Every structure is written in C-alpha cells, then in structure tokens.
Amino acid sequence: MGAIDPFEVQLRDGARLRLFSPGESDAERALEFFRGVTRTTENILSAPEDADGLTIDDERRIIETARDNPCGLILVAEPVDGGPIVAMCDIRPYRQVRARHGVVLGISVAEVWRGRGLGRIMMQRVIDWAGNHPTIERITLGVIADNARARRLYASLGFVEDGCIRGFIRMADGRLRDEISMSLYLKEPPRTVPGGVPPLVTPDFARRVVEHERWATERLFDAIETVPQDRRSEPGYQRAIDKVAHIIGARAVWLNRMGTPVEVPDAVFPVGWSLETTRERFAEVQTAWERWSATLTDADLAAPLHYTSTDGTRWMNTCADIVLHVCTHGFLHRGQANTLLAQAGGTPVNMDMIFFLRRTLP
C-alpha cells in the first residue's frame, strides 16, 4: 500500500502543517484544492477545464488507486488546526511492465503557500519514500521550460534534464510552451543517460565574484566623481556612465532569465543616465544578485537554463556559465569606463580581482 503516516512540519516562516496520505473521505477537499490550483497558475499541465471535468467519485478512485498500488503515493498538506488541503505531491506508476522501474512525480501548492519551502519539504519526503522502495529506480517529472524557479528547485533535489518537447503545451491564448523532462535516478544512472558538464564555478566562487562586482563598481563610481566639473560635458564622462548602465541592464536581464524578478531597463544599452540614477539602479540589481547567490548549490549552478535572446534565438546555458559571463562582462566594460573617465580628466582606479582578494601580511 502506498501511504505515508501523518507527520507535522514547520516552515521557515513559522507556519505549521500536517502532512498525510489522504483517504477516500478527503476526496472532496482534494478536488477543491485541484480546482483552485488550476485557476491560480499557468505552470502546470492541467487547465481549469480538466479539473471541472472531474467529480468527487473520480477523485475517490484516484486516491484509492494510489493507496492500492504498491508503487503509487499521494501526500497532501493541511494546516495543523484543520482547514483546506493546501498542497499535494503524488507518484504515479507506469502501467507498462517494461517501465515499472520508474514513476512520475507531480507537485502542486496553493497560491498563498508558494515560495515558503513547502514544495521542497513534500518532494523530499516523497523522494525518501521512493528511495526506500524495493523496485522504484527512477522518478521522472515534467516542468514548463520557462518556469526557472521550479527547475532550480528540482535540480537542487538531484533531478537532471533528459530532454525538451517543443511546443508541448498550448495555452488558452494560443501560446506554445516547451516542456522539460527531468529525472532523479535513485540507483546508479544508466550509461544511456548523458552526464552533465561539471560546473565551471563553485557556489563559493560565484558568491565571491558577486562581492567583487560590488567592490569594483563602487570604486569605479568614486573614480567617475573625480572628473572635474568643467569637463563633465565632454562625451567621455557620459560614455563612462553609459558603460556602467549597460552592465546593470545586462545583469538585470540575466537575473530575470534565471527566475529572479528585477526591473530591466528599457534598453540593454541605456544612454544618458545620471551618475545618481546609475548608482541607485546598480544598488538594486546588486542586492538582487547577492540574494540570488546567497543560497546557491552545485546543483543550481549545473542546472541548464533555456532562454530566448533579444533576436529571438533559443539558447541553453548552465547557471555556472552565466555567472562566469556576468563576471567577465563586467571586467570588460568597467575597464572601458575607466579609460574613458581618464580621458575626461578623472583619476582611474585599480579594480583587478587580485586587489580585491589579497590580504596584507603582518
């Protein structure tokens, strides 16, 4: 029988929830939860019409099937003091004999409970259950390709990408969205599974280069301030600021591609910002980068990211690639700005990484 005994968890914001495998008496609440989820997110395959087509008897049969199949499982969450079901994670076995060593995982969380760590807790508990199962060797899931936040979560739990189905999902407005297939191998991965490329950077290195970005750019701002007032009308002064504005714009674009919302300038190469505006926009984007990098893991950095460039071309990079690019991109344009401010009469500054890293000996 596929079931997990009830247990309680506390989220990082202090909320307490009861997690359990539902019975047939929970079918009405489970169906109400499913209908609510389909109306509050576009990041799952099921649409509201799918949920509306189900009856309570249908939901009872789904719960009964999961409990009767030794490779099936449903785990739901509710507030400890009672109330509606607020999240559901399930494992569905394949019918075909040749695929029964694998199962499919699904996860849904009610809108007000998203982003609070509940999905990770439930997935980890279900993965632990499957890991102790005598016949389950692989867990597979599907994730919409532009749902970067979910893909980072799954990668951090050990899932790797198997492939992409282009245009798998058609939204109500006609948009086509790709789906990524990801798998977690509970035993040794088969040789037919392509191995991932080792990350170019580690989480600690990523955090270090993000710190260097703040240090170097703030030094450059101070250097721009040394340009004499009577020479700030010269093109070199504004062009130096424009170089920094481009760094900010590019970093904002990459953050959004990786699932961290931050305001993106109207142009990737902003022109004419004041020094004060540039300082303010840099502080906003830098803070967002520091928040993003604070909890990075090796799996986050190795996770593939699919995105569309400004010319409409589809690309894939790992997050490690992007960190390295942002770092070297900043080196290039800060150096250009340093040269421009020197030509405008300012005092250039040394922003090399070695000067940021070195420590004075006694």
**Under 8 Å between Cβ of 3 and 24:** no
Of 141, 156, 185, the one marking the end of a domain is 185
pTM: 0.54
In a domain, 85, yes or no: yes
In a domain, 125, yes or no: yes
In a domain, 20, yes or no: yes
Domain shared by 181 and 60, yes or no: yes
Domain shared by 222 and 99, yes or no: no
Name the pLDDT band for 195 (thresholds 50, 70, 90): very low
Q: What does the alpha-carbon distance between residue 48 and residue 184 come to, in Å, rounded to a whole number?
A: 29
Mean pLDDT of 57-72: 90
Q: What is the pLDDT of residue 215?
A: 95
Residue range of the domain that includes 306: 203-357
Among candidates 53, 137, 54, 47, which has minimal Cα distance to 91? 137
Each residue's pLDDT tens digit, 247-301: 999 999 999 888 888 888 888 889 999 999 999 999 999 999 999 999 888 878 8
Q: What does the alpha-carbon distance between residue 291 and residue 305 come to, in Å, rounded to a whole number?
A: 19
Q: What does the alpha-carbon distance between residue 116 and residue 198 come to, in Å, rounded to a whole number?
A: 30
Each residue's pLDDT tens digit, 115-129: 899 999 999 999 999
Domain shared by 170 and 208, yes or no: no
In a domain, 193, yes or no: no
Each residue's pLDDT tens digit, 200-251: 688 888 999 999 999 999 999 999 999 999 999 999 999 999 999 999 999 9
Q: What is the pLDDT of residue 199?
A: 54
**Lowest-confidence segment of 8-12, 269-273, 296-300, 341-345 by average pLDDT:** 296-300
In a domain, 192, yes or no: no
Q: What is the pLDDT of residue 192?
A: 42
Domain shared by 208 and 180, yes or no: no
In a domain, 197, yes or no: no
Structural domain count, the chain: 2
Domain shared by 129 and 256, yes or no: no
Spatial neighbors of 23 by CB under 8 A, at least 6 apart, are 63, 67
In a domain, 362, yes or no: no
Q: What is the pLDDT of residue 197?
A: 44
Interior/surface letters 318-355, b for 16+ CB within 10 angstroms, e for the rest: bbbbbbbebbeebbebbbbbbebbbbbebebbebeeee
